[in-house]
Amino acid sequence: MQFSSEKIKANVGYFTAKLSAEKQKYSVTKWANGDPSAGDIVILDVRDRESFAQGHIKGALCVPLSELRSLMAQLPKDRELVTYCSHHY
């Protein structure tokens, strides 16, 4: 089966994004478990402050999405930033 260059580019983009997401998930899990090989990452909990106070990943920073723009200058520029949030319906 032969693939067009557009299909190849689309697949490369898809798998690049997928691998990046899996890398972050793996790194965050290692980081949360205190594994020093996790890398130098900063976990940002972008939920509201009340939700953060009720429970969060140990060591995560509370940076509510509504405040992200104003807090952005205070975030480290030399470390990988990983965000998480949760929605309950």
Which of 17, 85, 87, 89 is labelled catalytic?
85
b/e 52-71 (16+ beta carbons within 10 angstroms → b): beeebeeebbbbbeeeeeee
| CA 4 to the chain's CA centroid | 33
- Does residue 85 carry a catalytic annotation? yes
Residue 38's closest CA among 56, 57, 53? 57
Q: Which residues are catalytic?
A: 85
